[in-house]
Chain A
């Protein structure tokens, strides 16, 4: 067994949206940091094909068991692996949360408030947007006034986006080009170098070959390496070993089938909202609150598709082109929180596979619907979801190929999510009707796993405090989608990255105090 005797300042587990920015921040402060990442370190130019099947390798495909009324699809609908994590295949929509997103309980009397304010996040939002080179309109039509506009102007709008603009205009709904973490023109990044602009290849969800999309592997990871961080790919963490004082002193992981150990002063768990609670449960630690794996939320994410006379070619252009946040707090709402509307481009196999599941078409009906692919466009929503007793993750007694218990995830939408989805269904149908759609159909789904190690001020109801630090283990921090106390009515990645930088800064400040 290899023993890494060096005691590093920090081990970061996972290199996605929550891990990579924090890794760079700690390295910049001069700490000795090692990232352990289960997946591979890809070279997009050589390794990525414009082909969905070939890109299956980007997804976390260890089997998970999905239970509940609205069983969640994992794999390509959910989470990724590799240096860069799920940002390798995210669509790179990067809207900011709005201040009231963090005050759901205050506003509605249910759900949870965040233990931090919007003001705690605002400067980090700006920093991440400028560093990644987010493209978007300035001013942005919704949310508080900003100190600075987006780094780059908006990306060009594809067919689905034009149709959403057309439909919304008729109905008097405001739209705007979306904020996207893909470069509308080439961009120079400190510590990273030059990245080229988007070539409109439309395959963001299968990995960007040119480096235009701000996945972590072309942004915060090279920055972290520039500042001296070590990134160890293909290292699957299995154990967090504690010493007599209850601190984690060693992280155990499997590399090439062999067990290795890394000694450390601090651990940052950033394995995503399924694997983070799973690791804690496997190790039986950090759970005095009983909340590890609980409060599991998943955004309402109904998609609506239609066929149009126009030639659309849904594989072209940044898939997420147009947004509307006019539904952030609809006046006629009978649900908690709100949602946003987005246009969606789509790759062929993803579209047809969803059509098979959603409409159950086969035989000649399938063939006919499939032949309309070039004329298809979609819109979807992304909205709040409340935490419920009945939605959680547990360890099953079935083991996976690594010999570890598979996680079982229970998920059923509650009344609020169902009402929101019904509201959105009606509205999106109106928009698509106004845009000229035929053969409209909806694909019910929930997206993003959130909240399974939530942060809060009370150690009885939260797993980590507002700084991301475990209430039970003083040198354990969590930074990923699991710490969100509420789902937010926007896509999560920008907030995960911003919170990661804040967690790193809070940690560094606390180190300076004790030093």
Chain B
């Protein structure tokens, strides 16, 4: 199922969206590229490679790619938390550094190459193994691989689907909040929803 492009971007131009909502979404849409301030350049490139497998963006023009890794880097450099962490995990920043090292360690153990040099299929094999607590490497003795993977995946998904372009991809138009919704029952669409109807 794929949804028509441009819906959210065109909605944002209209008065169907309230000012605070438009500001939040435009901020993300127009965010200038930034250099990592928490991760080293190598760590950051590795994190990007991992995010590309977790939330693939094939078919998206380079200029429209959603920079998932930057959001993670920004949060960690601001030392922000989402309110909790698993007690068996080290603090978030440390967990990310360790986990990234772990991906490389597992890649080396299985394929004799760093994670970034693996084929996409090999990268997926490593990720699958980490998620299932079956990846090789001493890092995973000190970092609970399943919890790390869950946290990384959740943060990547939240960063990605907060972005207007990703919201277009799933046909979400809830940001058109100014008029309220009268048609809320099953198969009952407002005009501004119809253009996102994948079956239409």
Contacts and interface: CB of A to CB of B under 8 A. Distances in A.
B85 to A, nearest CB: 6
B31 to A, nearest CB: 12
Interface stretch (B74-82, B97-105, B110-118): B74-82
Contact of A66 (B84, B127, B150, B171): B84
B3 interface: yes
Contacts of A360: 131, 149-150, 153
Interface in A77-91: 78-79
Q: Which secondary structure dominates where chain B touches chain A?
A: loop
A46 B22 CA distance: 12
A316 B175 CA distance: 11
B158 interface: yes
Interface string A332-372: 00000000000000011100110111001011101110111
B81 to A, nearest CB: 4
Nearest to A81: B83
Contact of A347 (B53, B174, B187): B174
A66 B85 contact: yes
Given A54-B24, A374-B171, A349 B161 contact: yes
A157 B174 contact: no
A158 B197 CA distance: 18
Nearest to A66: B84
B157 interface: yes
Given A53-B162, A360-B153, A371-B3, A74 B83 contact: yes
Interface in B171-192: 171-172, 174-175, 177, 179-182, 184-189
B157 A366 contact: yes
B154 A356 contact: yes
A47 interface: yes
A348 B167 contact: yes
B193 A313 contact: yes
B186 A310 contact: yes
Contacts of A163: 186
B184 A200 contact: yes
Contact of A317 (B25, B177, B181): B181
Contacts of B181: 199-202, 316-317
Contacts of A355: 157
Q: How large is the interface on A (under 10, 10 to 19, 20 to 34, 35 or more residues)?
A: 35 or more
Contacts of A54: 20-21, 24
A159 B172 contact: no
Contact of B83 (A51, A60, A312): A60
B158 A75 contact: no
Nearest to A408: B87
Contacts of B198: 371, 374
B23 interface: yes
B122 to A, nearest CB: 14
B170 interface: yes
B83 A64 contact: yes
Interface string B132-147: 0000000000000000
A50 interface: yes
B14 to A, nearest CB: 14
27 contacts: A47-B20, A49-B18, A49-B23, A49-B24, A51-B21, A53-B28, A54-B24, A62-B83, A73-B83, A73-B84, A75-B82, A159-B186, A202-B174, A311-B186, A311-B187, A311-B188, A316-B181, A317-B181, A349-B158, A362-B153, A363-B53, A371-B170, A371-B198, A373-B171, A373-B172, A374-B172, A374-B198
Interface of B: 1-3, 18, 20-21, 23-25, 28, 53-56, 79-88, 124, 127, 131, 149-150, 153-154, 156-158, 161-162, 167, 169-172, 174-175, 177, 179-182, 184-189, 193, 196-198
Given A64-B83, A348-B172, A353-B158, 19 more contacts: A53-B24, A53-B162, A59-B83, A61-B81, A61-B83, A66-B86, A71-B87, A203-B177, A209-B20, A209-B177, A313-B184, A352-B158, A353-B161, A356-B157, A360-B131, A362-B54, A363-B56, A371-B2, A372-B1
What are the 9 A-B residue pairs with the smallest beta carbon separation, nearest first?
A75-B83, A199-B180, A315-B174, A67-B87, A74-B84, A54-B24, A50-B177, A317-B184, A63-B81
